[in-house]
Amino acid sequence: MSSDAIPAPQPQPAPAPAAPTWEPLSPLDRRILGVLVEKQKTSKTADSYPLSLNALVTGCNQKSNRDPVFELDEIEVEEGLDSLQERGLVTRITGGRVDRFRHELYGVWTSAGPELAVLAELLLRGPQTKGDLRTRAARMAPIDSLDVLDEVLKPLLERKLVVYLTEPDRRGAVVTHGLHAADEIARLKALHAGAPVSVSDPEVPVFRPVPVAGPAPALDTKLTAAVAEIDALKARVATLEAQLADVQKQLGLSPA
Of 29-33, 66-70, 192-196, the poorest mean pLDDT is in: 192-196
pLDDT in tens, 183-194: 999 999 998 887
Q: Quick one: pLDDT band at residue 170, thresholds 50, 70, 90?
A: confident
Look at residue 250 in the predicted model and tell me its pLDDT: 66
Does residue 199 register a pLDDT over 50? Answer: no
Does residue 36 register a pLDDT over 60? Answer: yes
Does residue 6 register a pLDDT over 80? Answer: no
Overall pTM surpassing 0.85 (yes/no): no
Does residue 95 register a pLDDT over 60? Answer: yes
Look at residue 67 in the predicted model and tell me its pLDDT: 92
CB 86 within 8 A of CB 104: no
Residue 37: its H or E element:
helix 27-42
Q: What is the mean pLDDT of residues 161-176?
A: 94
Secondary structure of the chain: what % helix, strand, coil (to 5)?
50, 5, 45
Q: Quick one: pLDDT band at residue 152, thresholds 50, 70, 90?
A: very high
DSSP sequence for 178-229: S-S-HHHHHHHHHHHTT----TT-TTS-------SSS-HHHHHHHHHHHHHH
Q: Which domains does the chain have, with CATH numbers?
A: 27-251 (1.10.10.10)
Kindly state the percentage of the chain with pLDDT values over 70: 69
Does residue 181 register a pLDDT over 80? Answer: yes
Does residue 130 register a pLDDT over 70? Answer: yes
Look at residue 108 in the predicted model and tell me its pLDDT: 95
Kindly state the percentage of the chain with pLDDT values over 90: 62
Q: What is the mean pLDDT of residues 193-219?
A: 44
pLDDT in tens, 241-250: 766 766 666 6
Residue type at 216 in one-letter notation: A
Q: What is the mean pLDDT of the chain?
A: 82
Look at residue 230 in the predicted model and tell me its pLDDT: 76
Does residue 210 register a pLDDT over 60? Answer: no
CB 143 within 8 A of CB 137: yes
SS3 231: helix
